[in-house]
Structure 1
Amino acid sequence: MKTKKIILTYLVLSVNISFAEPILKKEDKPLVTQTQEDTAKANAELEKYYAKLKYPPGFYEGAFLISFMGGGTLAPSGSFISHEKNYDSTLQYKVVRKEVSQDYYPQSSIRNDEAGLYFKPTYTPGVASQFDFEYGWKEKIGLGFTVMQNSMKAKRQDVIPGLSYYKEYVDPVPRERTIYRGNSMSFLATYHPIPKNFFDPYLVARAGVVSFTGEAHSGTTHDRFVYSNQITSGIGSIVGVGAGLNIYLGRYFGIKAEVDYYREFLKADQFSMRTLNSYQAMVGVFVNLSNVQYRLEQY
């Protein structure tokens, strides 16, 4: 009896094992196939959408940089500036010779045989600000556009327009005036000789349009028919070249510095065509939106 029970138990166990092996194999195969398909799909998605984002910090094809810089305008020149300085020289001559009135001074302060009171003018460049939007068209070439604002102030005497039609009165002391404030939008093209690097030097060229306001004179002497020296309908074109350096502090952002030379061709109701040349030194920060977007999509 014991022998029969042992034999029967052995047969039951053998049947169970033989049925269990194919079931396990059938269950295992789909799991392995599913894992491989998921991995292949994930790799394909990364290759399709993030192929250009696998590079280290630096400029590359597909990068999208937004930057903000601020600084100052240096050594302004051109016919716009020279014309205003010629106006100041002519006015100084007229003040000294008392061809314009300074009746507001006490009679005892200026004798008839003394020259009129004149103060030398000063021209001071204002603060400049600039936004750049740059896309990596090629590995070393970027395209985009720039929005910029710059200004220039002068502390000077001038004939007070509209005070008297028959008699010219000049300011008793110099007053600060904004003689130029320009807003420009221009296309930019950059060349990055060392892409995919923490230190990213580049060359840049820009060309676009500019609108401007300020104060200017149509001639070298005051026009008695003019009630205001305010510039109206100021418009023109702007071209520039420069060099800069992007320093990446990580994959997503960094600091930058740039030096540019700009030449503007200006026209307004007060004059037909004048030029304004200037150098600009700027510093600022930038963000690589391509890598920021990639970072956000990882969460």
Structure 2
Amino acid sequence: MKRFAFLISFILGFPELLMAEMVPRNDFSTYTEDANSKVGFSKDYFSFSFFYGGSLGPPSGSFIDAEKDYDHNLLNRIQMGEVKRNIVGMPAISTYDRPIYQSTGLYGIELESGWTDYIGYGFTFQGQSVQAVRQRVQKQIHFALNEDVTTLPKDVQVYSDISALTFLSAHLLPKHKFDPYIKLKAGISFPTSDNIHANSRDDYFARNSAMTNGRAYSWGIGIGANYHANSKYFYMVEFYKQSTRIYSDQFTGRILNTFYLQLGVGIRLALNN
């Protein structure tokens, strides 16, 4: 009798037990779907990232052209005999008449927030520099105040800056792991240099060759993609070209163009609601 009563109770209670087992599975599916929807860019997106960019080519623009004019003029002065002696008192010759200018890299941090599911905005804080390997003329007090040319080329920094830029971004595939985008940036830069020339000849009455009152405006475009490994972390690769219009006491409005391949990693600080 007891076995019969137990059997009836089991039959009547089994549907309720089955439904109870089904509820957690439904909740788990909903949780998984919500978690997946948090991957990628959206209007509730907010992230922090840091990056480093390697140069894809030599810098260009009127800033570099002016420095190369100095190098070319120096070579002509050596060949014409205007620069009489080098530092050891022998006739000056050009041991290095093809100077090299190279961007040494771009580094920075970035904050980005979603405006809509397709449009974002943010701020970038970054720095870059340009190195040169070249000869130069210097004034010496020996040999009847002759001009000396450095016997060997020297590696010097001709430009360095720190920039604060704001940007707008367009994301083509929101809420996807693969997140291609385009960024337009603009802002201000604070340039410095210890080895720049106001013109194609050295002014030996101005002993300081450092840039003074350096200021600049910068703008650029980036094309790249983020890969959101999960809802928290992502990786980025970007091709970025920047132009900087530089002003100082030595010159007005010289342009520096640089082109980089950037790699970075970021963390997402906010998820979708």
Range class of TM-score, shorter chain = 0.7 to 0.9
- Taking the aligned partners of 2:139 and 2:232, their CA distance within structure 1 comes to 54
Report what 2:88 is aligned to.
105
The counterpart of 1:79, out of the listed 62, 84, 107, is 62
Residue of structure 1 aligned with 2:129, choices 147, 151, 155:
151
Describe the superposition over 1:68-97 as per-residue Cα deviations: whole angstroms up to 9, x where unpaired: 110223331110000100110000111223
Q: Work out the CA distance in 2 between the residues paired with 1:197 and 1:128.
A: 28
Mapped to 1, the partners of 2:102 and 2:85 lie a distance apart of 26
More helix as a share of residues? 1
Cα distance, 1:167–1:106 mapped onto 2, change above 3 Å: closer
Structure 2 residue aligned with 1:93? 76
Q: How many residues align?
A: 236
The residue type equivalent to 2:101 in the other structure is: Y
Find the aligned partners of 1:225 and 1:276 in 2 and give their Cα distance: 27
- State the Cα distance separating 1:53 from its structure 2 match: 8.3
Task: Give the alignment partner of residue 110 of structure 2, picking from 121, 124, 132.
Answer: 132
Residue in structure 1 matched with residue 232 of structure 2 by the alignment? 252
Residue 68 of structure 1: aligned partner: 50
**TM-superposition CA deviations, 1:5-59 (whole Å, max 9, x none):** xxxxxxxxxxxxxxxxxxxxxxxxxxxxxxxxxxxxxxxxxxxxxxx98833100
Equivalent residues of 1:246, 1:255 under 8 A apart = yes
TM value normalised by structure 2: 0.80
Give the secondary structure class of the aligned counterpart of 1:89. helix
Q: 5+ unaligned residues in a row in structure 2: which ranges? A: 1-33
Superimposed CA distance per residue, residues 109-135 of structure 1 (whole angstroms, 9 cap, x where no aligned partner): x5xxxx623312111210210211100
Q: How does 1:218-229 map to 2 (within 5 A)?
A: 218-229=198-209
Task: Give, in whole Å, the separation in 2 of the partners of 1:290 and 1:163.
Answer: 65
Q: Give the drift of 1:160.
A: 2.2
Larger radius of gyration: 1
Identity %: 30
Q: Pick the aligned partner of 2:246 from 242, 250, 266.
A: 266
Q: Secondary structure at the match of 2:216?
A: strand
Distance 1:278 1:103 in 2: 35
Aligned to 1:184: 163
Unpaired runs of at least 5, structure 1: 1-51, 295-299
> Which residue in the other structure is 1:208 paired with?
187
Matching residue within 27, 33, 40 for 1:58: 40
CA separation of 1:131 and 1:257: change in aligned 2, threshold 3 A: same
* Pairwise CA distance, 1:182: 1.2
| 162-171 or 76-85, which deviates more | 162-171
Aligned 8 A contact 2:167 2:183 in 1? yes
Please say if 1:116 is aligned against 2:98. Answer: no
Partners of 2:166 and 2:140 in 1: CA distance: 42
